[in-house]
Amino acid sequence: MAVDMQELVEDSVLLQCRVNETPCEEFIHPTTSLLDFLRENLLLTGTHMGCMTGHCGACTVMVDGSIVKSCITLAASVQRKKISTIEGLGEKESLHPVQAAFCEESGFQCAYCAPGMLLSTVELLNETPDPSDAEIRSALSGNLCRCTGYQSIVRAVRTAAKLYTADKETQE
């Protein structure tokens, strides 16, 4: 079936944003979720699909430095904003301090929740460099771990706080 380009453009929104520091320009349907945009248009499948109702946190990404649940965020709402996904956090050879801490403390089991947990931890440590256990649990309350590995996750965030602070001091 031939595609009517005029119809396609009329039903579309031109989304311009930056994803993991890379400029991005794509026509999308106005109802496309940010999760679908990342996974299907950009093939960034590190952002996971879970409940699709904003409850589990598997789809967590950062928009201009604040976490959002991408399954309930319209892609059109991130016009001209900066999106950070797990793919932009660190490299295999040089992990982000938060990734290194989760590896060190076995903060993952099946790791399905990991991308969301890591990005929520980055937001927490940017705002609260030395969080209490209560602050850690509160900050991660929107991210569910179906393996229930919460003890090691809290331990990992405590370690991440130390590594992240040391890493920032080195860069200053």
**Contact residues for ligand FES, defined by CB under 6 A:** 49-52, 54-59, 69, 71
Which residues, at least 6 apart from 103, have a Cβ–Cβ distance to it below 8 Å? 95
CB nearer to ligand FES: pick between 74 and 95: 74
CB of 60 to ligand FES, least distance (A): 7
CB nearer to ligand FES: pick between 42 and 49: 49
CB nearer to ligand FES: pick between 49 and 95: 49
Closest by CA to 80, choosing from 13, 29, 23, 9, is: 23
3-state secondary structure of 37: helix
Q: CB atoms < 10 A from the CB of 73, how many?
A: 19
CB of 123 to ligand FES, least distance (A): 15
CB nearer to ligand FES: pick between 146 and 168: 146
Nearest 5°: the CA angle 60, 62, 65 is: 150
CB of 36 to ligand FES, least distance (A): 11
